[in-house]
Amino acid sequence: MAPRILHLNAFENFSPGNIASGMWRHPQDRSSEYKSVRYWTRLARDLEQAGFDAIFLADILGILDVYRGGPDEALRTASQVPINDPLTVVSAMAAVTERLGFAVTVSTSYTHPFMLARSLTSLDHLSDGRVGWNIGTSFLDSAARNLGAGEQIPHDRRYDRADEYLEVTHRLWELSWDEDAVKIDKVAGIYSDPSKVHPVRHHGEFFTVPDPFIAEPSPQRSPLLYQAGSSGRGQQFAAEHAEGVFVHGTRPEVLKPIVASIREKASLFGRAPDALKVFAVATIVTGETDEIAQAKYRNLVEYADYRGAMVQFAGPAGFDVDQIDPDVPLTDIDSNGAQFTAKFFASADPDRVWTLREVAKYMAVGGMGPTIVGSGATVADELERWAEVADLDGFNLAYAVRPGTFDDIIRYVTPELRRRGLLSAGEGPRTLREAIFGEGQTRLSPDHPHWKIQQ
């Protein structure tokens, strides 16, 4: 049996701070260069050459202002603020690469599907078919407050709206323009043949889009669809819509039943077991030897930022953890907040009882995923073990210091993975869907549930 291919995404953010709180203070960190286009073009070239399949760009639309009741700690600790629009940086990276994909997080809550469909189609044209969409549904009160929605739409209702959103984008991407609609017939004077361009006639509960799509089909038509839902409703949403899904867990044994559950749910929608690729978030700290890597890790942990970690945890959770004693096991504290937090971390690792300070230290380097420390061989062994135990298709690799973490991975880990035949092979241009599903698989799979949507 051929070895299991491990797909690698670099987990990035158009911000000086991502999930590794406090690491921007490390002497070698150059995160403040995030504003420069050269940071991104260099990174994209390096990742492509190393055999990464994609760069994944996270995003949020509001400041994480729950911890200590305001934006101050988020601003101080650069916890995903300041943050720029990830859609704007893709074409610069696309122009200097030919195989690397770009998965961009955009929420269905604040952009009209007609507008977003056009933006993603534009990027898919400019990248020759290398765009993915990480479908966000937004969770922050601070975003809702500033973007005109007033109160947030309730959680499950957001998913209903997102379902309809994807019906609209499917109609625009897949059903409006026939394959041979664009003629460019200079003699007959027909650029697009109107008999092959169809109104989408969508009249739903949330959206009304009667007319044809305004952009012509891009190489992939639908961008590769990613989702990171962890709730029950979120998993169901991923099972129906996503082609790639992100999961978090501190040990592969924790992830195993989660991955199995997602694949099971997908099969209920008539999808093949490998129709949905599952990626685990992980951070790698590596060097020439295990000892050097361990020393690097010990050095990194010195920069762990308790407040930053609390900002990042409290924001999505939606309540302020500042009242919780950082050194008492969460399960021993009699408050709703502590119980919620204990339950949250139990879902990442049910066999461990956490204090908030342990949570902060853990999250400082790897966020909610593991930190894998060791030489290239050690890390490769560990990635293989994770993939085997949890039935994973790849990893979303976060950074601790920037761009040092990716530089180290490229120097020590990807050459080892390549030697073992674990990276997707080949050269020359390919689309993102081909990178993940294999040569020739540029279009949405025929067993994708979206095809139930009729013109």
Restricting to residues 413-442, name those near a second copy by CB under 8 A: none
CA distances from 370 to 193, 255, 382, 391, 452 (A): 53, 11, 11, 16, 38
Q: Least separation, in Å, of the C-beta of 130 and a second copy?
A: 11
Quote the longest CA-to-CA distance of the chain. Answer: 79
- For a second copy, give the closer residue by CB, 85 or 156: 85
Q: How far is the CB of 226 from a second copy (least distance, A)?
A: 19
Element (H, E) at 235: helix 232-241
The interface with a second copy within residues 9-28 (CB under 8 A) comprises 14, 16-17, 22, 24-27
Return the residues of window 62-81 that contact a second copy according to CB under 8 A. 62-63, 65, 70-73, 75-78, 81
Q: How many CB atoms lie within 10 A of CB 421?
A: 11
Among the listed residues 4, 45, 92, 337, the single contact to a second copy using CB under 8 A: 92
For 94-130, b where at least 16 C-beta lie within 10 A, e where not — what string? Answer: beebebbbbbbbbbbbbbebbebbebbbbbbbbbbbb
| Tokens at 194, concatenated | 């109107």
Member of 3, 49, 88, 273 binding a second copy (CB under 8 A): 88
121 lies in the site for a second copy, by CB under 8 A: yes
49 binds a second copy (CB under 8 A): no
SS3 367: coil
Strand partners, 106: 135
| 80 within 8 A of 15, measured Cβ to Cβ | yes
b/e map 63-84, b = 16+ CB within 10 Å: bbbbbbeebebbeebbbbbebe
Tell the smallest beta-carbon distance from residue 228 to a second copy (Å): 20
Residues facing residue 372 across a β-bridge:
284
3-state helix, strand, coil in the chain (%, to 5): 45, 15, 40
> Under the criterion CB under 8 A, does residue 46 sit at the interface with a second copy?
no
User: Among residues 85 and 447, whose Cβ is nearest to a second copy?
Assistant: 85
Check residue 118 for interaction with a second copy (CB under 8 A). yes
- Report the C-alpha gap between 216 and 453 in whole angstroms: 20
Write out the binding residues for a second copy, residues 286-315 only, by CB under 8 A. 305
CA 258 from chain centre, in angstroms, equals 17
Interacting positions 204-223 with a second copy (CB under 8 A): 207-212, 214-216, 218
Quote the least distance from Cβ 187 to a second copy, whole Å: 8
Does residue 377 bind a second copy (CB under 8 A)? no
In the region spanning residues 174 to 193, those forming contacts with a second copy, defined by CB under 8 A, are 182, 184, 186-187, 189-193
How many residues of this chain interact with a second copy, rule: CB under 8 A? 82
Go through the chain and tell me how many residues it has.
Answer: 455
Angstrom distance (rounded) from CA 235 to CA 265: 8
Residue 318 binds a second copy (CB under 8 A): no
CB 17 within 8 A of CB 80: yes
CA distance 302 to 314: 22
Nearest-angstrom CA–CA distance, 227 and 217: 23
Kindly state the smallest distance separating residue 411's Cβ from a second copy, in Å: 25
Contact with a second copy (CB under 8 A) among 112, 155, 157, 343: 112
Which residue in 390, 440, 375, 437 sits closest to 5, CA to CA?
437
Contact window for a second copy (CB under 8 A) among 202-210, 322-330, 353-361, 385-393:
202-210
Which CB, 1 or 38, lies closer to a second copy?
Answer: 38
Residue 105 CB, shortest distance to a second copy, in Å, is 14
Which residue among 19, 20, 43, 61 contacts a second copy (CB under 8 A)?
61
Cβ of residue 286: shortest distance to a second copy, in angstroms? 23
Task: Rule CB under 8 A: say whether 146 interacts with a second copy.
Answer: yes
Does position 360 interact with a second copy (CB under 8 A)? The reply is no
**Binding of residue 136 to a second copy (CB under 8 A):** no
161 binds a second copy (CB under 8 A): no
Binds a second copy by CB under 8 A, chosen from 57, 90, 342, 364: 90
Q: Which one, 95 or 260, has the nearer CB to a second copy?
A: 95
Q: How far is the CB of 69 from a second copy (least distance, A)?
A: 12
